[in-house]
């Protein structure tokens, strides 16, 4: 499968995030906690979204894309409800809308924090927070699900995700979650 490794890389990033929950409880009370591990997860997941977004944009448009502003324009042109995708961590009673700022023409705060941490970690290390890590991984997941739509299911969501679920997900005995998803643009 041509793009299967993107799902597997997502699962590796997600696994790193899950491991941090042994030390910092996933709770809105802890959203401002920052760490080296969160920085690594943010850098990996946002960089991977950059890769996924370029592929997705190239599948839906001939327009040359170079950055997050280009991605927003191309993705929202074809998928105007992309920004409204929610990602749930039901186990922790957390609901994330990582792309909601695209609805008003802006970019997410987590994307800004990613760039700050990437380019000036000495000044912005405190932006490598649990909240930013959760949102960046959730943002990557959103991009992947739309890429799956564009590749007509050539990416299999097997094994399932450990953290995130949709309204139509199934939780298996091993704790993994298999998605039977509907995207906001399907409605």
Mean pLDDT of the region 55-66: 94
Coil, helix or strand for 100?
helix
Q: How confident is the model at residue 32 (pLDDT cuts 50, 70, 90)?
A: very high
d(CA 99, CA 1): 28
For Cα atoms 11, 53, 113, give the angle at the middle one, nearest 5 degrees: 75
d(CA 171, CA 160): 9
Interhelix angle 109-124/130-150, nearest 10 degrees = 140
Alpha helices in the chain (DSSP H): 4-20, 36-60, 68-78, 109-124, 130-150
Give pLDDT tens digits for 90-148: 889 999 999 999 999 999 999 999 999 999 988 999 999 999 999 999 999 999 988 88
Q: How confident is the model at residue 14 (pLDDT cuts 50, 70, 90)?
A: very high
Q: Per-residue pLDDT for 153 more than 70?
A: no
Q: What is the pTM of this model?
A: 0.90
């Amino acid at each position: 499968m041509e793009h299967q490794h993107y799902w597997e890389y997502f699962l590796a990033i997600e696994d790193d995030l899950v491991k941090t929950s042994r030390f910092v409880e996933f709770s809105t009370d802890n959203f401002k906690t920052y760490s080296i591990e969160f920085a690594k997860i943010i850098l990996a997941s946002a960089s991977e979204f950059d890769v996924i977004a370029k592929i997705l944009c190239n599948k839906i448009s001939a327009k040359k894309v170079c950055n997050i502003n280009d991605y927003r324009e191309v993705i929202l042109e074809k998928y105007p409800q992309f920004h409204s995708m929610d990602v749930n961590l039901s186990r922790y009673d957390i609901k994330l809308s990582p792309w909601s700022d695209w609805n008003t023409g802006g970019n997410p705060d987590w994307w800004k924090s990613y760039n700050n941490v990437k380019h000036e970690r000495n000044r912005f290390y405190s932006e490598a927070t649990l909240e930013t890590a959760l949102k960046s991984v959730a943002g990557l997941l959103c991009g992947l699900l739309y890429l799956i739509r564009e590749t007509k299911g050539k990416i299999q969501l097997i094994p399932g995700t450990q953290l995130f679920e949709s309204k139509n997900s199934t939780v298996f005995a091993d704790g993994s979650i298999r998605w039977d998803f509907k995207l906001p643009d399907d409605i």
